[in-house]
Structure formats: structure tokens, C-alpha cells
A and B are shown apart, each in its own frame.
Chain A
């Protein structure tokens, strides 16, 4: 199977993949501790579920930055 397209768009695709992949890993590492702590805190006091959930998803913002960079790479550059 022949691969179409130039080297530049290939590099952009790799960059976009790295941006999403690496930020995903980073968010995962951050969420590991935040999640464990949130579950621990909820075990003691279930009423703080909402607050714990907000802290839990905060590291997800890192992936959104990665996604934005990836989209910019593919569609804008």
C-alpha cells in the first residue's frame, strides 16, 4: 500500500498524536493521586462527592490543551 502526502503533513500528524498522547499520560498520572485521595475522602464523608468530582476532573484540562494544539496543528498550520 502506497503512502500518500508529503513529509510535512506526516510530521504534523505525529506532532498532533504526541500532543494528545503525552498530555493524556500526564493527566493520568495526576489523576492517579487525586482520584485515590477523592475516593478516600468520599469514604469518610459521602456528602463531598460533588467537590471531590470537580477536583478529580481538573487534571483533564491538560488533555484539552493537548487536543487544542493537535487541532491547531492539523487544521491551522
Chain B
């Protein structure tokens, strides 16, 4: 009667109120404009005053400059996501956990890369983002293993992700992690889509949103590969199945096209076309990718306003938080490497 089906329904009101309060503390366009005028130490101090103070203080003894800023922002994001995960219950918890699974994949990639470059355990640990479902202890266990095969096998046991034999044998043949990483990127979305049970309305909304994200990701991949002059089967290898509007037929069509101009009639029907129209016409890949990111954020915002008591506002917040961390890093890195303010500003997604 009260919608408590076996106690599995999530605590939407509580969690959504919390993330909305957190979202109000995110940085605004004005904050980014201020940071664009600053040097790296000034940016560090500025973000210390806007929610990252604890992490900045914790890490200040070991790190400094750009390293401190990057690690503190990632650590803060991991903590925030962890607190959302621990405060949600029922199906909401399951959906948030499935979405955060991408950070487990990210961490596995960091560990594999670290190991292949001979980094020590401490060095690898510093680059991890423990925002996924794997605890710090599980990640430590993975780091302590010697060979990449062991790491992959143990990760498979912890998260039930098994690497395809094709990717594994390609890695064994030439020691290149590329195939494994590409496989992990694909599997992360496919698993997420499979793990959502579309029987209830909130989970159907979540599924729609994730599928939309797959569409954007695929289109971005196609644009990037087209810019490199790659098409046909080579492109298909990198695409993720299960998109919302771009189905297999369209994917094949886009992948086989010589250039994006030749399939403009198909592309112009996509919802995100308006956002990237100018960039496509002027052949500006950077602006097109930024446009897609902007569209993704707007879409999440729209979904979250339409269905306030669902998982979407929570995902919307997580996307915004990730975007904030990325923006801070772009500004800091850009400033450090002497990029012009206008160039950095164009790279930001606000």
C-alpha cells in the first residue's frame, strides 16, 4: 500500500535531498572565471575554501603544486561518491553502485598501467580513485599481486568481469595493454545496461539515461576516429552496443561513411545535433566533443527536473561533480603549461 515492496524500494527522498544540497555547493561559472585569472598555488588555495579543504590539508604534507591539487580533487570526489553510495538503500543503492562500477574499471586500468611501467605500490595507490564498489583493501590486494594476469583474474573474481580471451591473447602476444583497456571500456557500459532491471519506473528512467550516454560516447568515438581517417570495421571494434537512438544499423552506417559530411542527413536527426552543428560544419573536433559533453550535462539536468524522486538527480549530481573536478584540473594544467585563458575557457564544460 505504501510502495514498500519487500523493503527494496530506495530512500529516494533522503538521498535526493542530500545530493541537491551538495549540488548547490558546486562551483559556478563565476568561480571558474575567477580561477582562470589565478596561478596554480592560488587555485589550490581557492578550492581549499570551496569544499576541498579537508583533502587539501590531508595531502599537503606529502604532495605539493599540481599533484596536490589533482589528488585532492579526486580524493574529494571519491569520498563524496562513497557517502552517496553508503547513504542510499534498496534499488537506488543498486543503481548508484552499478553506475560507480566505472571507477572500478578505471582503477584496474591504473593498476595495470602502473605495473607495466614498474611503478611502486605507493605510486599506484596515489593515482587510484576509490569511488567504485571495491574497497581500499581490495584495491591494495590487487596492487600487491605481481603479474598482470593475476591482477585481472582477481579483479574478475571481485567484480565478475572477465576479460575476453581475444583481448587476453593479444596482450600476451605483444604486451600491449591497449586491447584490454578497450575491452574494459566497452564492457563497463554493457554490464551497466544488463544490470538494470527495467521493471520499475525509476530503473527504466535510469536505463534510458545510460543508453543515451552510450549514444553520445559512440558518436564521440566515431568523430575522433573519422578525424584520424579511420573507418569501417576498425571503427566498429570500438563501439558499444545497446544505445538508445543510434542502433546497430545506424552505427554501421556511421562507421562505414568516408566522412561525417556524407552522413549529415542521419546525423542531423540526432537530438544533440544542434549542440555540435557549428563545430561539425567548421570541422572542429575539440568543440564537437565539448558540445557533446555539454549536451550530456544538460540532458541529465533535464531528466532530473522531470523526475525528482528517481535515481536521475543522483546521477545528475555525480556527472556535475565529475565535470567540476575535470574543469578544475583543466584550469590548473592549462595555467601550469602556459595556455591562454581563452583556450582554457573553450576546453571547459560549464
Q: A: which residues have CB within 8 A of B?
A: 29, 32-34, 36-41, 43-45
Contacts and interface: CB of A to CB of B under 8 A. Distances in A.
Contacts of B15: 40
A45 B23 CA distance: 12
A32 B14 CA distance: 10
B234 to A, nearest CB: 48
Contacts of A32: 2, 13
Interface centre among B15, B20, B21, B22 (most CB of A within 10 A): B21
Contacts of A39: 14, 17
B14 A36 contact: yes
A36 B2 contact: no
Interface of B: 2, 11-18, 20-22, 87, 309
A52 B14 CA distance: 13
Contacts of A36: 11, 13-14, 17
Contact of B22 (A33, A38, A44): A44
A37 B18 CA distance: 8
Contacts of B17: 36-41, 44
Contact of A37 (B2, B16, B22, B87): B16
Interface centre among A32, A37, A43 (most CB of B within 10 A): A37
Given A29-B2, A32-B2, A44 B13 contact: no
B2 A40 contact: no
A36 B13 CA distance: 6
A41 B309 contact: no
Contacts, number: 36
Nearest to A48: B21
Contacts of A45: 21
A44 B15 CA distance: 11
B18 A43 contact: yes
B13 A40 contact: yes
Contacts of A34: 13
A40 to B, nearest CB: 3
Contacts of B21: 40-41, 44-45
13 contacts: A32-B2, A33-B309, A36-B14, A37-B13, A37-B16, A37-B17, A39-B14, A40-B14, A40-B16, A40-B18, A40-B21, A41-B21, A44-B21
A3 B217 CA distance: 75
B208 to A, nearest CB: 23
Contacts of B12: 33
A36 B16 CA distance: 10
B2 A41 contact: no
A32 B309 CA distance: 13
B67 to A, nearest CB: 30
Contacts of B14: 36-37, 39-40
B24 to A, nearest CB: 9
Nearest to B15: A40
The 3 closest A-B pairs by CB, nearest first: A40-B17, A44-B21, A37-B17
B281 to A, nearest CB: 44
A33 B18 contact: no
A28 to B, nearest CB: 9
Contacts of A40: 13-18, 21, 87
Nearest to A39: B14
Contacts of B13: 32-34, 36-37, 40
